[in-house]
A and B are shown apart, each in its own frame.
Chain A
């Protein structure tokens, strides 16, 4: 078994899987069950000022389903904790005492004035919490009151509130970012400039799930009216990975440790986040869909993977970051062609029809009068569409042309690299 012990910001936990600040970490009962199941840490459901907020007593959640009702995406309009602050603090203190080896992080959200932060943070830190996570991410409800994503969308506010938090706290401060921005780098830079010890991302994405086809109102509603929620689950993972990788590969922000969040459901999702620069990960939706038991696969799946690859967890973190670049630096001399394994092909014809209708007419449907799907190298641009739609894993693969000429362009295959910055068609090319 690979060693999964992690020290994120010096906070030890037996594995890199924390429960994100969300309904699963709302109270001691849930967090105790999570720790019994094996979770490495928990970010307690966001604390706020007293009097505590109130939630709707109707639907807070809805889901995007596959046909067999597997949850692909998930939406919520729940606000921060709706229990008195003292109740939460008492429970946090007890939980940390009972589980000293697990990470316990306090998520907080306060209005934009320094006195409030200065008043509450020491009280909360006194519970024994290992760190703070500043919730600048929730896109619904709290943002209407000038908190959550309303802060996270303005880098200067992030910096300001982070400075207040750093002044009031002695434990590390993590800034949780909203993805509801056009560019994640300025918010990350704001956190860094405010003195944040780390960032965590992503929070949820603004979303309306669908309409009700009978009433033709949005779905779900509370007494006939609805509001946008925050979208999460498997569907948001690619959005999160891009933002994580952007922070990890950009010189100005790469010093920030990252706690990766967004659609992690199995250990492979965790590998994605870790390899793209996160040092640990946080999970919510998968637990809300299947319960805490999913930690078993997360832990031993990651451990088996590291053993197979003969890597340590530290080796994995950031491993894929150097492979992420700008489009302009991609090698335009590199050529791949799709190859269909005829022994695996089940002859569904999907590759043919999508290539024919929407791409480059590069796959046959008939060869010598027989139903047969073959790549026409003279037309194939190597776009990977056929690989993406083929229902048989491994049936179509992309193979590099290493010598000779590209039958499509008639151009010789060149071993030297040439990207857009050097390309003759680029009027802005860098001349030698």
Chain B
């Protein structure tokens, strides 16, 4: 067994290396690159890419505007459906959404690089701050939005556009939710999340109240009493536990918390990182923490997932990204025990397989990985207690809020969206769509009542 002294320290890499490792993962397209790429779009009818986009952006439409150098028009086409089109251009798993649907795949297996074109079209808007949207005549209606992430801000922006006044309550110091505190740093450089929030707020009519936690500072009922409607976009508050003895040892950390710290760090070199890192989980968060650990200078990073590549929440592209960054992905193994006394020294895993009926079972075959740090990235759960009294009629299912196709909850004046609703899928783009749909429905209800 390895010695028990944990090897966790800062400055494993020099400033230059850190800067390189946390630069733009996909550098933006130059104008000539964008024009050539835009020329590859066939301008499909009822385009499969648009159908595959959760926010339904008219993709051939915005690409055609790139072709004609109508960049502001292109950005408007994107942002009118998805106000976080800038963020989505950076973080969307396009390989399983629009770019997977691109008809170019069928004869050359090389889709139009829609994500990068979307970034090309939207970047100037955030640099120049061009006002693309104006508010409708004021309605005098006030709506409370709980949560400052993609769902809440999308909802707030659309409501403001429609003439309503909005107050956004958000838990953290800065608005933006996972765009600000989650997501790998190399996907969102140069403080882009805050630039996007600033742009969203610039429409006017949106008031932010930071550090305001539902269930602590206010209750759902209080909001219902004070506002004409409420939108809940609180995401998932708590991190799932491994359920193993020793989980409280130092060195066993939540990937979500570490990424939040990393995203807020002014000097990434200062962040302590283990020499040997074990990540448990198979979603985007697992990939993000594994790759970022490696890029901070961890010598060895193992990512262990209990099933196969098809079942991983991370796309095939993300899995390959981890592998090309030197992360060892070990599939078909589940954690059986944490080793160590006060600080974790390793994890014991047991190999898994599917039985004849397709159920996962342990094989009894075990192996141990030495670790200075173990990151838990096995998902999050919604904390239902936050709704407090008066919320008994808020219907939940599988621990998430139940909503209809217009994002309305079982309560007449409460809508919800993003990861906290049943059907939420950890994607910024889906959360944005939920917020937009809710805003449209809220507007409809408030105007008819």
Contact = CB atoms under 8 A, between A and B. Distances in A.
A350 B42 contact: yes
B45 A67 contact: no
A420 to B, nearest CB: 35
A353 B42 CA distance: 12
A66 interface: yes
A365 B46 contact: yes
Interface stretch (A3-11, A36-44, A215-223, A341-349): A341-349
B36 interface: yes
B174 interface: no
Contacts of A347: 44, 48, 103, 106
Interface string B250-271: 0000000000000000000000
A307 to B, nearest CB: 30
A68 interface: yes
Contacts of B45: 348-350, 352-353, 365
B36 A68 contact: yes
Nearest to B38: A67
Interface in A34-76: 66-69
Nearest to A363: B45
Contacts of A67: 35-36, 38-39, 67
A84 interface: no
Interface in A357-396: 365, 371, 391-392
A430 B46 CA distance: 49
A66 B39 contact: yes
A371 B44 CA distance: 12
Contacts of A69: 32
A349 B44 contact: yes
A350 B44 contact: yes
A68 B39 contact: yes
B107 interface: yes
B43 interface: yes
Contact of B35 (A68, A346, A391): A68
A349 B43 CA distance: 9
Interface in A297-356: 344, 346-350, 352-353
Nearest to B47: A349
Given A67-B67, A68-B35, A348-B103, A391 B48 contact: no
B35 A348 contact: no
Contact of B107 (A68, A349, A350, A392): A392
A103 B38 CA distance: 45
A68 B48 CA distance: 25
Contacts of A66: 39
A421 to B, nearest CB: 40
Interface residues of B, number: 17
Contact of A346 (B36, B38, B67, B103): B103
Nearest to A345: B106
Contact of A349 (B38, B39, B46, B106): B46
Interface residues of A, number: 16
B46 A346 contact: no
B359 to A, nearest CB: 34
B102 to A, nearest CB: 9
Contacts of A371: 46, 48
A348 B104 CA distance: 9
A348 B43 CA distance: 8
A352 B45 CA distance: 8
B39 A346 contact: no
Contacts of A350: 42-45
A213 to B, nearest CB: 9
A302 B32 CA distance: 34
A54 B47 CA distance: 55
Interface in A254-306: none
A350 B48 CA distance: 12
A69 B38 CA distance: 13
A348 to B, nearest CB: 4
A344 B103 CA distance: 12
A62 B35 CA distance: 20
Contacts of B107: 344, 346, 392
Q: Which of A67, A347, A349, A353 has the most CB of B within 10 A?
A: A67
Contacts of B48: 347, 371
A346 B111 CA distance: 12
A348 B42 contact: yes
Contacts of A392: 107
Nearest to B35: A67
A346 B106 contact: yes
Nearest to A392: B107
Contacts of B44: 347-350
Interface string B347-371: 0000000000000000000000000
Nearest to A354: B45
A173 to B, nearest CB: 46
Contacts of B39: 66-68
Contacts of A344: 107
B38 A391 contact: no
Contacts of A352: 45
Most A-side CB within 10 Å, residue of B32, B36, B45, B46 = B45
B62 to A, nearest CB: 15
B40 to A, nearest CB: 9
A67 B38 CA distance: 8
Contacts of B36: 67-68
Nearest to A68: B36
A353 B35 CA distance: 24
A410 B334 CA distance: 70
A231 to B, nearest CB: 22
Contacts of B35: 67-68
B47 to A, nearest CB: 8
A391 B45 CA distance: 13
Interface in B95-113: 103-104, 106-107
A31 B104 CA distance: 45
A365 B45 CA distance: 9
Contacts of B42: 346, 348, 350, 391
Interface string B9-51: 0000000000000000000000010011011001111111000
A242 to B, nearest CB: 29
Contacts of B106: 346-347
A66 B107 CA distance: 23
Contacts of A68: 32, 35-36, 39
B38 to A, nearest CB: 7
Contacts of B104: 346
A26 B103 CA distance: 49
Contacts of A353: 45-46
Given A66-B39, A346-B107, 10 more contacts: A67-B36, A68-B36, A344-B107, A347-B48, A348-B42, A348-B43, A349-B46, A352-B45, A371-B46, A392-B107
Top 7 A-B pairs, shortest CB-CB distance: A349-B45, A353-B45, A67-B39, A348-B44, A346-B106, A346-B103, A348-B42
25 contacts: A67-B38, A67-B39, A67-B67, A68-B35, A68-B36, A69-B32, A344-B107, A346-B42, A346-B107, A347-B48, A348-B44, A348-B45, A349-B44, A349-B45, A349-B46, A350-B42, A350-B43, A350-B45, A353-B45, A365-B45, A365-B46, A371-B46, A371-B48, A391-B42, A392-B107
